[in-house]
A and B are shown apart, each in its own frame.
Chain A
């Protein structure tokens, strides 16, 4: 199982903060995972509609959409950060 986390407006749109998901084995990259997530219902389709705007962290490290997710324990999706 892989833990998926959602923050800020991504969380508001999906309606959940975190979930443990069995990601299909053939999914190798973040981009492929996003495409798959969009098929999980209208909330996810809406949350990931502008997928290029969404930032990703794999095991708490920033990652690009072409990054491999094999072996990842925790994958987070969020808007560009606005702290400080």
Chain B
């Protein structure tokens, strides 16, 4: 399941909903991405996206994960709009019978999301606004799944 929303999410509630009536689940992995402000210079982060394509990309990535690993369920929630330092940005939950599939699928989902889902971050600070630049290591992280 995928969702793009401006509202925050509650991890506990999301896990509860995902587990409901799925008795085959033996392992649940969650990843939460939050707004980082290591230097104390960011007042806000605004996330823009491409409505329509975003949902299509996320659904495609999720489908690939289900094709590669025996998952019982999965969830991707990504926020858009204006966020503050410490706010939640993204949640990935994967559930499987055994831990390995859930760990690997969660990692795969994040690696692919970061390099293919059409979101863009803009940081606001004392010197104005800046678009966050894509990182080479994110491409490398997604690339490692291709050979496996």
Q: Tell yes or no: B49 within 8 A of A by CB.
A: yes
Neighbour of B52 across the interface among A60, A62, A82, CB < 8 A = A60
Q: Are B50 and A82 in contact, with the CB atoms below 8 A? A: no
Smallest CB gap from A60: residue in B: B53
Q: Are B116 and A81 in contact, with the CB atoms below 8 A? A: yes
| Residue count of chain B within 8 Å CB distance of chain A | 26
Given that A8-B48, A8-B131 are contacting pairs, would A83 and B53 also be in contact in the complex, using a CB cutoff of 8 Å?
no
Q: Are A84 and B113 in contact, with the CB atoms below 8 A? A: yes
- Nearest CB of chain A from residue B129's CB, rounded to whole Å: 9
Residues 112-136 of B at the A interface (beta carbon under 8 Å): 113-122, 131-134
Chain A residues with Cβ below 8 Å from B116 are 62, 81
Q: Tell yes or no: A57 within 8 A of B by CB.
A: yes
Chain B residues with Cβ below 8 Å from A82 are 114, 119-121, 131-134
Distance A60 CA – B55 CA, assembled complex (angstroms): 10
Neighbour of B115 across the interface among A7, A61, A76, A81, CB < 8 A = A81
Q: Are A83 and B117 in contact, with the CB atoms below 8 A? A: yes
Distance A62 CA – B60 CA, assembled complex (angstroms): 12
Distance A81 CA – B47 CA, assembled complex (angstroms): 11
19 contacts between A and B (CB under 8 A): A7-B120, A57-B53, A60-B50, A76-B118, A80-B134, A81-B114, A81-B120, A81-B134, A82-B121, A82-B132, A82-B134, A83-B49, A83-B78, A83-B89, A83-B113, A83-B114, A83-B120, A84-B33, A84-B90
Which residues from chain B sit less than 8 Å from chain A, CB to CB? 33, 47-50, 52-53, 56, 78, 89-90, 110, 113-122, 131-134
Which residues from chain A sit less than 8 Å from chain B, CB to CB? 5, 7-9, 57, 60-62, 76, 78-84
